[in-house]
């Protein structure tokens, strides 16, 4: 009888472990599908415009061209970001390749490492601008189906995922992400290391872009001051063969972007 109880407990434990593994695999699959909605799988470029608002008034604007390609043999992106506005920032560069993020100022010839968490404009951090596959940086857990209000204040049936950073270079330690039935991201909460809500983001204005419907706007609301809003707009998408040399820190001083 004792042996039977042991065998039964072992069977239940194995069944529970298998169930957890299945749930984890499904969460990873959903997150990978959501990455594919946000990001093309071939080298591309786009224009990102950041507009900051306080109490409904525009207070700042920034523009940049982002050149992205998957690293050889990996499922993560390398990015070169060229600043195009305002005038004082023209031709400054930011490079994300592997675990490192670099900034280059052609005026001072200074090249320095920077943190992805560092604020760029409004609620937008350096790590928000570069193309990233979250499935490579976060462990996903399914929290369950939920009805939420999207960025247009419409009810949307979504799956809620909880993402926990599994690599040091991840911009955020934890993200709550809601995706719809097509795995398109609809809403996200970004949290600090201590668990505080840093910002809320809504993914909006889906349009056919580079072969698939993708969000062309993100509305980002500060976690403490809801009247402080930054809008990220994505446009001028195009396939672009990003040169290998552009993705090397030692080449930044020689990058020429037409």
Residues 41-95 have pLDDT tens digits of 999 999 999 999 999 999 999 999 999 999 988 889 999 999 999 999 999 999 9
Note the pLDDT of residue 103. 96
d(Cα 184, Cα 215) in Å, to the nearest integer?
A: 8
| Tokens matching residue 252 | 């930044």
Look up the pTM and report it: 0.90
Using the predicted structure, report yes or no on whether residue 11 has a pLDDT greater than 70: no
Collapse the DSSP code of 114 into the 3-class scheme (helix H, G, I; strand E, B; otherwise coil) and give the result: coil
Three-state DSSP at 71 gives: coil
Residue 163 has pLDDT above 80, yes or no: yes
Q: What is d(CA 133, CA 167) in angstroms, rounded to the nearest whole number?
A: 12
Mean pLDDT across the stretch 117-133? 94
Of the pLDDT bands very low, low, confident and very high (cuts 50, 70, 90), residue 17 is: very low
In this prediction, residue 19 carries a pLDDT of 53
Alpha carbon distance 189, 200 (integer Å): 5
Residue 253 is classified by DSSP as G
**Tens-digit pLDDT profile for residues 214-251:** 999 999 999 999 999 999 999 999 999 999 999 999 99
Quick one: what percent of the chain has pLDDT higher than 70? 92
**Cis omega before residue 120 (within 30°)?**
no
Domains of the chain: 37-254 (2.50.20.10)
């Amino acid at each position: 009888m004792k042996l039977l109880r042991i065998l039964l407990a072992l069977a239940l434990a194995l069944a529970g472990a298998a169930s957890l593994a299945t749930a984890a695999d499904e969460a990873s699959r959903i997150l990978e599908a959501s990455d594919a909605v946000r990001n093309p799988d071939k080298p591309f470029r786009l224009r990102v415009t950041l507009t900051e608002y306080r109490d409904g008034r525009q207070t700042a604007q920034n523009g940049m061209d982002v050149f992205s390609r998957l690293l050889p043999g990996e499922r993560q992106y390398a990015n070169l970001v060229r600043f195009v506005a305002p005038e004082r920032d023209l031709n400054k560069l930011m490079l994300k390749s592997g675990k490192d993020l670099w900034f280059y100022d052609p005026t001072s010839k200074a090249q320095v490492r920077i943190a992805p968490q560092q604020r760029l404009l409004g609620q937008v951090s350096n790590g928000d601008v570069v193309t990233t596959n979250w499935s490579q940086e976060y462990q996903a857990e399914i929290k369950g189906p939920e009805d939420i209000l999207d960025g247009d204040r419409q009810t949307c049936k979504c799956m809620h995922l909880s993402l926990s950073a599994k690599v040091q270079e991840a911009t955020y330690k934890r993200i709550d992400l809601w995706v719809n039935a097509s795995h398109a991201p609809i809403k996200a909460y970004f949290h600090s290391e201590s668990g505080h809500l840093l910002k809320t983001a809504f993914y909006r204005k889906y349009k056919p872009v580079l072969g698939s419907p993708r969000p062309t706007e993100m509305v980002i609301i500060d976690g403490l001051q809801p009247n402080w809003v930054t809008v990220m707009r994505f446009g001028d998408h195009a396939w672009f063969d990003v040169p290998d040399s552009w993705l090397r820190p030692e080449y930044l001083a020689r990058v020429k972007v037409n």
